Chain A
């Protein structure tokens, strides 16, 4: 325990380090500047901004800003990049709640109840609870990294292809529970999502699949492209449709209270706690950990709620749980990077690049060799989370006021920001056209009561599921029993089977109908 305190002391020492700045105009006098704190603040601010602008994802931003950090000292550079990463998780919820556009895979579920809350004039409490939940989750995850980082690494390593496949199966069952309408339609959407995820190159042979010889499709459909189309553009078309405008005006008139009420806080507290626990555990897993975490947290809340029909209609737990989960997961996803030097996702891979350029190649010894880097980053996360809370709570008022902007002015700006965001991901014009096409598809889906959220989950899970299934079977030489003989995988499969049985057992059928099938009106 003493070790942890001395390590954290070292970390905070690094974060609060003062650098003497001696500008010429002061004639030799020097001013102490807390450089790392400033870099953390810049990172958090940029991250929030990026999260708020729909479409411009974390990966694109970190990639664009990476060259700027080359001139900075390595600790400062990484503190800033980390700030962008978790700052974007805070900001990502804003567009989900205000305009129903999830900027990140992790905030898709936030849109389900968050946007409904905004429609009821409760955008303020939704945004505030997202920030508070994220802050709490961030604090817990930071402590977790400091105390349990090393032992938790073993969990990440124990997760082989078979375990991942079983986790993804569980994820698909979560997707069914997401639906607030017909279960059959939800399943149809998941399958369509899985099919869309098959577009691209075959992982084993590299052969092109369903790409129709269009070179831009060779790497598959981007998540941002489909999400912007199905959520953002489709929502806009629907709003411009007859009746949409009055619906929007309703939103603008009804705005009440910016901060959560006492009841909101009481309702959200357990959801935040559960979301934090789920997010912290799933975040450690490389790959889709953070996304699964937000979906799992939402599913859990809906499952254990006394009146699950509130979900999808503006339940504050439906915002609090996934937002806490995705922020906790964003934080704990640093564990494999800090303890093993292995980047668990694309953003972390860019951070490894940043370290490499500074001459630090992260590996299993990075904690011993670069303690001030590792502990400085861990300490900066807590400081950054506090900054984000301070930045975000006052911003809630401004965001809510944005809703009062007349829709005829608002929708063209949303379209433009989305288009810029989508283009910036790959610098490819085709992506913007595709998003437009998905906007039309999304409009048709809304009109026929199909929900886009299960489709997006299918799209995120599809490649992970396929790749890990094929890897697991390659390693086991085609023996399917591998999913049941490996203990971790068997446990995940058992949970998935239990959830399925719960849905199928005839005696429970009536109850399931209450849970899943709720008509829109």
Chain B
């Protein structure tokens, strides 16, 4: 599913609406008058945190106010997201949500204290990190086709690793398994580090993970990558084919990060924040740092609040059938 190329027309319309809003009301001129708190639902230093910091540093210049990052960890990011949902909707508390907190959490946590669509105003998409299919370096299959045949033939023997229930590596592996219609044993680890350690050490056979964590290991030859689950190859790994090229077009996944505001945040404030996001994503310095991480920067049409709203809806629809059987 290609969310960058989708609903181009509606995206453009929303962009126009956003521009119209930006130029009009006087209230938006005064916002922001004090510092803004950006809740990051994961630990400092993780992919979501790094992307948030890179973009918000530029946004702070545009908005003329500091943006304070507050890392609130716990329960797969849902603790922080619950807090953000209940925060004042004045535009001074925002959250960097991602694929887990604002889509996969819906089927994963039946007692979720918020709903990504009902409790949040989408502000803007920041960046996506593509998912790779990775394997230990001495696993027999040479390419994705052989790998698929191997997993199907040896479902009893194959072990997959993931970084914990609800993590990006967990939900993307679930998607891969549902597409291949196999059920290998999946071994849970506490975070990407230990899971990667097990893959490098050859304790497990394969895993799906975000490109940021995997590029140095692939380049160092300690693990191998079969494919990247995006429509285009990634500049940081030009030799790794896409899933479409390698014969599994159905497997498309990337971890996206986006800014959300509590429901009811005034439209002019949202528009002003969105404009700051868009400006940051056009900045050469910001772009270079995001691309260095292997991230994919959204195209102009995918940067509007409306496009983000559509993305959240489609992602919930995408993950719900895949993850429901887990619980």
Contact = CB atoms under 8 A, between A and B. Distances in A.
Contact of B219 (A157, A350, A351, A363): A363
A359 B171 CA distance: 27
Interface stretch (B71-79, B226-234, B260-268, B301-309): B71-79
A159 B201 CA distance: 8
A286 B43 contact: no
A286 B194 contact: yes
Given A215-B79, A353-B49, A206 B166 contact: yes
A364 B79 contact: no
- Of B191, B200, B326, most buried by chain A (CB within 10 Å of CB) is B200
Contacts of A159: 201
Nearest to A65: B44
A350 to B, nearest CB: 5
Contacts of B69: 67
B193 A475 contact: no
A362 B50 contact: no
Interface string B23-39: 00000000000000000
B212 A63 contact: no
Contacts of A477: 156, 185
Nearest to A163: B203
B44 A205 contact: no
A204 B216 CA distance: 28
A342 B193 contact: yes
- Of B71, B189, B198, most buried by chain A (CB within 10 Å of CB) is B198
Given A204-B188, A206-B166, A477-B185, A66 B45 contact: yes
Interface in A145-164: 156-161
Interface string B172-202: 0000000000000101111101101110111
A201 interface: yes
Contacts of B156: 477
Given A66-B45, A342-B196, A353-B50, A366 B75 contact: no
B247 interface: no
Contact of B188 (A203, A287, A353): A203
Nearest to B57: A70
A354 interface: yes
A61 to B, nearest CB: 11
A147 to B, nearest CB: 22
A27 to B, nearest CB: 32
Interface residue SS majority, chain B:
mixed
- Of B189, B203, B219, most buried by chain A (CB within 10 Å of CB) is B203
A67 B70 CA distance: 11
Contact of A344 (B49, B193, B327): B193
B60 interface: no
B148 interface: no
Interface string A464-494: 0001001100110100000000000000000
B62 interface: no
B165 interface: yes
Interface string B77-119: 0010010000000000000000000000000100001000000
A204 B188 CA distance: 6
A474 B202 CA distance: 15
Nearest to A218: B75
B40 to A, nearest CB: 11
B53 interface: yes
A485 B190 CA distance: 25
A160 B221 contact: no
B55 to A, nearest CB: 13
B61 interface: no
A351 B44 CA distance: 10
Contacts of A350: 43-45
Contacts of A351: 45
A346 B193 CA distance: 9
A361 B193 contact: no
B217 interface: yes
A347 to B, nearest CB: 10
B198 A215 contact: no
B46 interface: yes
Contacts of A365: 216, 219-220
Given A205-B165, A343-B193, A366 B44 contact: no
Contacts of B76: 206
B248 to A, nearest CB: 25
Contacts, number: 140
A356 B50 contact: yes
A361 B215 contact: yes
Contacts of B312: none
B79 A218 contact: yes
Interface in A338-382: 340-344, 346, 348-354, 356-357, 359, 361-366
Nearest to B75: A218
A201 B75 contact: yes
Interface string A413-434: 0000000000000110000000
Contacts of A63: 43-45, 71
B159 interface: yes
Contacts of A70: 53
B289 interface: yes
A344 B201 CA distance: 13
B141 interface: no
Interface in A271-323: 286-287
A67 to B, nearest CB: 7
Given A350-B44, A477-B185, A203 B216 contact: no
A343 B156 CA distance: 31
A366 B212 CA distance: 15
Contacts of B71: 63
Contacts of A158: 201
A353 B46 contact: yes
A292 to B, nearest CB: 16
Contact of B203 (A161, A342, A356, A427): A161
B216 to A, nearest CB: 2
- Of A63, A206, A215, A427, most buried by chain B (CB within 10 Å of CB) is A206
Contacts of A215: 75, 79, 82, 113
Given A343-B193, A362-B216, A427 B72 contact: yes
B24 to A, nearest CB: 36
Given A205-B326, A427-B72, A366 B191 contact: no
12 contacts: A66-B45, A201-B165, A215-B82, A341-B216, A342-B200, A353-B45, A356-B45, A359-B289, A361-B293, A363-B222, A364-B217, A365-B216
Ranked 8 nearest A-B pairs via Cβ? A353-B45, A363-B216, A364-B220, A206-B165, A157-B201, A160-B203, A343-B193, A218-B75
Given A156-B201, A161-B187, A336-B197, 12 more contacts: A201-B165, A206-B166, A286-B197, A344-B197, A349-B45, A352-B45, A353-B43, A353-B46, A354-B45, A356-B45, A363-B215, A471-B189
